[in-house]
Each structure stands twice: as structure tokens, then as C-alpha cells.
Amino acid sequence: MVFKRFKYISVFYITLIIVLTGLGVYVLFNTYFWLTSIWIFIFDILIVIALLNFISKEHRKLSHFLVSIDQGDFATPFSKNFEDLDFNEAFEQLSDVIISLRDEAEINYQYLQTVVNQINTAIICVNDSDKIVLSNSSSNKLFRKNVLRDIKSLRISNDDLPLILKNLKMNEKKLIKFNLGGELFNYSVQLAEFKLKKEFFRLFSFQNVQSELEQNELESWQKLTRVMSHEIMNSAIPISNLSGLVYKKLFDQDDTFLMNIDDEQKLDIKEGLHTIETRSRGLVSFVEATRNFTKMPKPELEEINIKTLIKRILSLLKPKIVEAGINVSVKIEPEELKFTIDKSLIEQAFINLVINAIDALQKTENPTLIINVSRNVENHIIIIFEDNGKGISEEDLENIFIPFFTTKREGSGIGLSLVKQIMYLHKGNITVKSTLGQGSRFTLSF
């Protein structure tokens, strides 16, 4: 059994104090040796002072040990520093455990640092004072600095970057252009926040999306080119063929004008010229639609009651809705919900969506259009247009927002692409889910 020296010394001091106090009182009141009793009391006081010093010394050792733990300093050997050997053994074990945990934490930190440095994504962590406490090798390459001290030091790649990072919201993504060696690169920046030891930190990740954007842009141009080529060829080929046919009706092989044209030939020429005129007008309309699509006005924002807006649109399209026998259901929660928009642009977007639903519900049994408006958990306004119409095929679904793409014989292919651009101007989004033969659901998020 370990000798508990601290306890025994304390008991010895207290016992000695009690004995001396009792002896002093006895001598003072029962004998004539009052001077002796005074010396006994003086010695008793010295013993009390010695006990207090002994306890204070142990407390100082304990305090020093705890401070060392707080500061992570374990250079001082603590074994055999305390009078109680149980204390020495306990603190020696505690020191070993803490040193082990510290070493393990250091190993984990080095491991994390190594992993982070292998990531191609640039990562920067800043504290409440905008001081950079962590950065990886990719961020050093991106900002062309070996040491990044604070957010202001990131200006070298983009002058507006410090302000953009300060205004960035949780989980929000921002596309930023960086000038690297005279070349422009697109990076997607995202923010995450967390708290450690009562201090808040912000973690910024910079993902190079240049190749993805270039690939998406190329695919978009290819799709757009295919659609425009299809639309132009649909008009150009008939015009070319009919022009040649009319020419042959009017001129012989020697390019001599034929004077004798019978009534049947005249009718063919008339129908051919009429078709050429119609297709030419269609081509002009297509070019005009293209020009209007690329000249969208800047939104003039105002606060609008959603219920009033939808009611006005349904009233405007009521003849078409009644004629198609469509049952329209509108649900808005809360009923007086408002949002800040460009009234005319959003009206145009909603009209296009309702007209599309009307077209999709042709020849549908019990045609129904449901308009649902609410707020989601992120406080965004969500507006859903859902119908039980013919739906959209998977092949067409990925193309419906491409300008000039249409599955309708008389359609311009501008409607849904216009809606998407309007939503983009309002910093919103539109998505679609559809099953062929079951219906479609368009979701607008503001």
C-alpha cells in the first residue's frame, strides 16, 4: 500500500496543535507556571502556521500543475512533487494520458493537413477577426503566396474578393473570376461556418469550375445550334424548293419567260408564292423572337401580393381555361404572402406556364391545374404549377429550357427559355419534373 504522507503529516500537525492547546490551557488555569503556558501557546501558533504553509505549498503545486495542463506544458516532471504519493501517482498518470492525447491530436492535425494539401480545391479558414488560421497548398497556389495572413491579403487575385467573402452567406455558392497570369478562370466559392472553443470560424472553399463551365457552354451552344439549324432549315428548304418550282413554271430551259400558262400552272405558282411568303414571315418572326429574347429589360422591382397576381392571370386566361374544361385549384399559405418582383416580367412567366399547362391538358380526362404557393424552411417562396396532362418525354425534358426548342407545331420555342431567364434575373430558379402520360410539375423558387 502506498504511504499517504500528506494525510499523515496533516494528522500529525492537527494532533500536535490539539495537544499543545490543551496543555497550554491546563498549565494556564491549573498551575502557577503562566510563563510556560505562554511559550506553549507561541509554539502552538508556530505549528498552526507550519500546517498552513504545508497545505499552501501543496495547493501551489496543484495550481501549477493545472496551469501547465491548460498551457500544454508537460516539461516539468510532476512525479514525487506532492507529499501524498497517491497524488504523485495520479498526476503522473494524468500527465501521461494528456501527453498521449496531445500527441494523438498533433498526429491527427498533421494527417488532416496532409489530406487537405492533397485536395485540388483551395481551402481557407478564418476566425472572427478575419485572420487566416488554416490554408492548404492549393490556396497558396491560387493566391500566389506562401503565407496568407488575413482576408485582405487575397486581393492579389481579385480586388473585390475580400468584400465578396465577407458578404457570402452560409452554404451560398458564388461564381468568381480570377486573373491568374493574365488569364481569367472561373471559381465557385462556398462558405461553411462552425464553432470551436467558443470561437466562430468560417471555411471558404474555392473550386475551379472553368473546364465544367466550358464544357456546359459548348454543349449549350451545340444544342442551340441544332435547334436553330432545325428551325431555319424548316423554312429555308421549302422556300428554296418552291422558288425553284415557281421558276420552272415561269421560265423554260433557255430562261425564256413562258407566256402561255394554263390555269392549273397559275394556281400552282400562286400557292407556291403564298407558301414562300408564309415561310418567309415565319423566318422573320423567328429572328424577331431571337432578338427579343436577347434584349431582356432590367427588372423594376416592387412588392406584389401573390394571390392578386395569380388571380389576375387566371382571369386573363379564363376563356382558354373554360374552353378546355380545366379545373384550376389555387392554394396559398399564408394567403397574404408577398414577394418583391418585376410585375410585368413575372406575369409573362406565369402566363407562359399556364398556357403550356392548357396545351398539355388537351384531350386529357378530368384536366386539372394546381397552383401551390408556400415558404420553405430556408424562407424561400416556392410556387408550383402542376398538371395531369400528357407529360414530357425524358428526351425532351433536358431540352425544354433551350431557346427555340419546341415540340408544338405552332410553337416558337421561346416560352420556357424566357421563363428561365426571367427567374435568373430575379436570382431565382425553375425546375421541372414530368412523367410521360401522367403530367408535369414546374417549381419556381424565389
In this prediction, residue 2 carries a pLDDT of 41
Q: 217 burial class (0-12, 13-18, 19+ CB within 10 angstroms)?
A: exposed
In this prediction, residue 79 carries a pLDDT of 44
Residue pair 12/50 in contact (Cβ under 8 Å)? The answer is: no
Residue pair 410/369 in contact (Cβ under 8 Å)? The answer is: no
- Sites in the chain below the pLDDT cut of 70: 1-6, 61-62, 65-92, 94-95, 116, 156-157, 179-184, 210-242, 247, 249, 252, 254-255, 257-259, 279, 282-297, 403-414
153: DSSP letter = G
> What span, in angstroms and rounded, lies between the C-alpha atoms of 124 and 141?
12
Residue 126: its H or E element: strand 122-126
In this prediction, residue 3 carries a pLDDT of 44
Please report the beta strands in 54-93, taking only residues with DSSP state E, as ranges in sequence order: none
For the residues of 262-311, what is the DSSP string, one character each? -HHHHHHHHHHHHHHHHHHHHHHHHHHHHHHHT-PPPP--EEEEHHHHHH
Residue 163, strand partner residues:
none
Q: Please state the length of the chain.
A: 446
Residue 114: its H or E element: helix 85-118
In this prediction, residue 288 carries a pLDDT of 65
Q: Which of 418, 439, 446, 420 is nearest to 431 (CA)?
A: 420
C-alpha cell recorded at residue 172: 451560398
Q: Which of 189, 191, 188, 190 is nearest to 210 (CA)?
A: 188
Quote the pTM value.
0.45
